[in-house]
Chains A and B, each alone.
Chain A
Amino acid sequence: MARERLVVVGNGMAGCRAIEEILKRDPDRYEITVFGAEPRVNYDRIMLSPVLAGQKTFEDIVLNDLAWYRDNGIVLRAGCAVTAIDREARVVEASGGPAVPYDRLILATGSDPIRLPLPGAELSGVITFRDLDDVEAMVAAAGKPGAKAVVIGGGLLGLEAAYGLAQRGMDATVIHLMDVLMERQLDESASYLLREALKARGVETIVGADSEEIVGRDGKVAGLKLKDGRVLDCDVLVMAVGIRPNAALARAAGLEVNRGVVVDDQMTTSDPAIHAIGECAEHRGIAYGLVAPIWDMCRTLAAAMTGDDGAAYQGSLLQTRLKVSGVDVFSAGRFAGGAGCEDVVFRDAGRGVYKRVVIEDGKIAGAVLFGDAADGGWYFDLMRQGADVSDVRETLIFGQAITEALRGVDPRAAVAAMPDSQEVCGCNGVCKGTIVAAIEGQGLDTLEAVRAHTKASASCGTCTPLVEKLLQLTLGDSFEVPTGPKAVCTCTRHGHGELRLRIVAEALKSMPAVMQALEWTTPDGCSSCRPAINYYLLCAWPGEYRDDKQSRFINERVHANIQKDGSYSVVPRMWGGVTTPNELRAIADVADKFAIPTVKVTGGQRIDLLGVKKDDLPAVWADLNAAGMVSGHAYAKGLRTVKTCVGTDWCRFGTQDSTGLGIRLEKFMWGSWTPAKVKMGVSGCPRNCAEATCKDIGVICVDSGYEIHVGGAAGLHIRGTEILTRVAGEDEAVWTICAVTQLYREEGWYLERIYKWMDRVGLDAIRKRIEDPDERRGLYDRFAYSQRFARIDPWAERVAGRHSDEFNPLSRRLEFTPA
């Protein structure tokens, strides 16, 4: 019987693997011809990154050498492009050679890299990352000393390209449109760790950056201009923004083509004699760009072509690993959750590990691992099998070894049953017997003592629960698992004090950095911890940290106070409670113009406009700004008001210029964020008309100077102030007040009012620090520095268009859709 003629278009990984799979099943069935556009044998495209990085050579990554083609009787036509398929005649036409007839045709034409249509994209030195020619171009560019590279695209390929270029000695920078690197595979926490790891390997990453133009010089690339105006110099620019299935040949032949060549479950196109596999194919609406699905497709196609009519490709679950040396990243399945999804998060700051497993209906729906991806394959298998993991939910995140060791066992009994020789602490190689002996022999009764004497659980801490159980087992009920200070929230075991200290001590400057270092157990915190962390970061790094508005309570996010009906109240600032006819007229006009239902005088000597619609806020502010008024911060965990009496200006009893001091304080201190609200008062004499002695900070003016009071409250709790100190001059009063405010800003816990902070740390301790001239000076200077970034009217910023999406509905189209 004459053999059937099989023609394969595409001498890449898919085409050759399909042939291998067919030969494995039925070596004599087909007479095979392969066309390849590249003038080379088949090589492992996945391994181009290590070639670029100089860790492998081309010879290392050759999959099928010439001998393979020869030994299997395959005709290879390398460097020969197929130009057309004549389906009627069943022949393929190729450039520079005769047409070849086929009985069966496999299209494995792969994909083309997407080139962004940026101005300058045609310049020399602008390359993609797809084949060996690209790699050679990059390696050549890296030859120039001090050469710089920019990579557009922070996906798998772009990051590997940048890493390879950095390994070749170039300064590499990755520009990514999204805020999260590899956003289809990673979440924000893993992306943060990846950026740090890349930085340590010489790759800078810029996220949330959009490219505008490629700058050229003498026909060669010289830099990349971003939409925000920045220009990054470079000698080579790599575009790694994605791939597009190469379906031109199929389309010209009249086959059904969508994004890729449409195939059924047996990889057959709309023509039963033609099949398509790999990146050029589209199966059930998906065109894959990873290697694992290609192998699955090749197996199915080979089975179907060798007589197995039942073979069917069902689509592939995807897993991703990044090939950057020493950076262990794994991602599989969905991690974006959905109905009924539950996150299990594990962070180990010591080892830089972040693991997140998403469970849906008792099964693993996805996993993201960073720093320790050893169990990636295991999670992927469980996910693929659809295994029910409910009964191992508690130990799942610790990986396969621990989960299987403890499956179905009561943890305490399991610990008792462990042999003395079993290792408990993998980091320091400490066995159960050693720990028990230390507890008994040296009378240890705390976790810290065990750590100090045996080093068990002193490194990564993963085995801490196990060591605690050993303490329990050995000491019986006399050992209690210690409970530390009250945790910030259920996302963490750490208290506010430790959180604040470590942000400063470890220079943690972003929300993901804090959550990783303190091993948060949720992916992105909660409505309790996020506002606290945001404040602590803002306070610790005033010039560097960018406020995260999504971590602000609504009032601070939109700079107005939400009311029970969802409308807002607006309170313009009146410095020291003093206003003018012009300001009052402007307020009246605004109230008329926007039909504001209630205008009320507040306890803090301000005017409150109640019932403003959210969409109207920027327009209301614009009118108030125009009359010279700024935000009154009546919504802020920050300085709200300084209430004053009329002092020596008018009062018969006034001893000092209390109005002037109040205005001076407010003008200097407005806009500052504090752990909780701060209200102040300045009274011109001990008759105390400004009620300064129930304020957070108050001043009572006396003939000899100023009494500085702190720790009053007149809300849920009523508290009179206590005298912090007495000073003689107004300047000193201002310095002292700023210093004590700064001390509170640096040490107070989020939502802790000054009087509570005072109860916690003691008035004497505060006084001691404020009365020390050096300390007071330092505090004042830090407050003044922070104010350089804080004294900005948030209303004016929003009138100018900042965060305009906040004040406009997403769409009004539904309003016109009849219900």
Chain B
Amino acid sequence: MNAMTIQSALRWTDVGAVTDIPLRGARRAPSPGGDIAIFRTGDGAIYALRDACPHKAGPLSQGIIHGHAVTCPLHNWSIDLSTGEAMGADRGKGCAPVIPLDVRDGRIFIGVPA
């Protein structure tokens, strides 16, 4: 119910096509609250996180993407793209906020509280 309320209060912005991001790649979308990192995994899934590693705010959009995770370029923390949580030895130490995302007809939409 809560989630529904939040969902309905979002305004969606088209930030580009799925194919604008290379497979196993990421792109940034600057926003007033800081950069948003949008990822495309090897099998084509799309994710969006705040572009800041929970460790030292490294730009996750610049990391290597493998499976459904990204490795931060600054100190090699691995972040689960679906939850933003640190993985492996760093599990439980922090989380990059997940950004509301919708993919429709090959376009990527980012949700911003209206």
Contacts and interface: CB of A to CB of B under 8 A. Distances in A.
Interface string B81-112: 01100000000000000000000000010101
B64 A550 contact: yes
Interface in A325-365: 335-341, 343
Interface in A174-192: 179, 183, 187-188
Nearest to B56: A564
Given A187-B43, A523-B43, A814-B112, A341 B68 contact: yes
Given A523-B42, A817-B13, A809 B28 contact: yes
B67 A526 contact: yes
B50 interface: no
A603 interface: no
Contact of B16 (A343, A810, A818): A810
A183 B44 contact: yes
A817 B32 contact: yes
Nearest to A551: B64
Contact of B30 (A337, A554, A815): A815
Interface string B48-66: 0000000011110011111
A82 B94 CA distance: 64
Contacts of B27: 805, 809-810
Contacts of B28: 809-810
Contacts of B112: 814, 817, 819
Interface residues of B, number: 49
A552 B63 CA distance: 9
Contacts of B14: 811, 813
A566 interface: yes
Contact residues of A: prevailing secondary structure: loop
B73 to A, nearest CB: 4
B43 A335 contact: yes
Given A524-B42, A524-B66, A814 B15 contact: yes
A340 B80 CA distance: 9
A12 interface: no
B22 to A, nearest CB: 6
B29 A341 contact: no
A814 B111 CA distance: 10
A522 interface: yes
Contact of B33 (A188, A337, A555, A819): A819
A629 interface: no
A530 interface: yes
A531 interface: yes
A343 B67 contact: yes
Interface in B1-31: 11, 13-16, 20-25, 27-31
B44 A566 contact: no
A550 B32 contact: no
B30 A809 contact: yes
A805 B78 contact: no
A55 interface: no
A817 B44 contact: no
A340 B65 CA distance: 17
A553 interface: yes
A390 interface: no
A530 B64 CA distance: 9
A679 B68 CA distance: 36
B38 A810 contact: yes
Interface string A797-814: 000000001000111111
Given A336-B44, A339-B82, A564-B74, A812 B62 contact: no
Contacts of A343: 67
Contacts of B24: 524, 550-551
A522 B22 CA distance: 20
Indicate the member of B27, B66, B78 with the most A CB atoms within 10 Å.
B66
A561 to B, nearest CB: 10
Interface in A676-732: none
Given A337-B68, A340-B82, A819-B32, A811 B42 contact: no
A341 B66 contact: no
Interface of B: 11, 13-16, 20-25, 27-33, 35-36, 38, 41-45, 56-59, 62-69, 71, 73-74, 76, 78, 82-83, 108, 110, 112-113
Interface of A: 179, 183, 187-188, 335-341, 343, 522-527, 530-531, 549-555, 557-558, 562, 564, 566, 805, 809-815, 817-819
27 contacts: A188-B42, A188-B43, A336-B43, A336-B44, A337-B67, A337-B68, A524-B24, A524-B42, A524-B66, A526-B69, A531-B64, A550-B64, A551-B24, A552-B64, A553-B64, A554-B64, A562-B62, A810-B20, A810-B21, A810-B28, A811-B14, A811-B29, A813-B29, A814-B36, A817-B112, A819-B32, A819-B33
Q: Please name the 5 residue pairs, one residue from A and one from B, whose CB atoms are nearest each other, closest first.
A: A810-B27, A527-B71, A339-B82, A811-B15, A814-B31
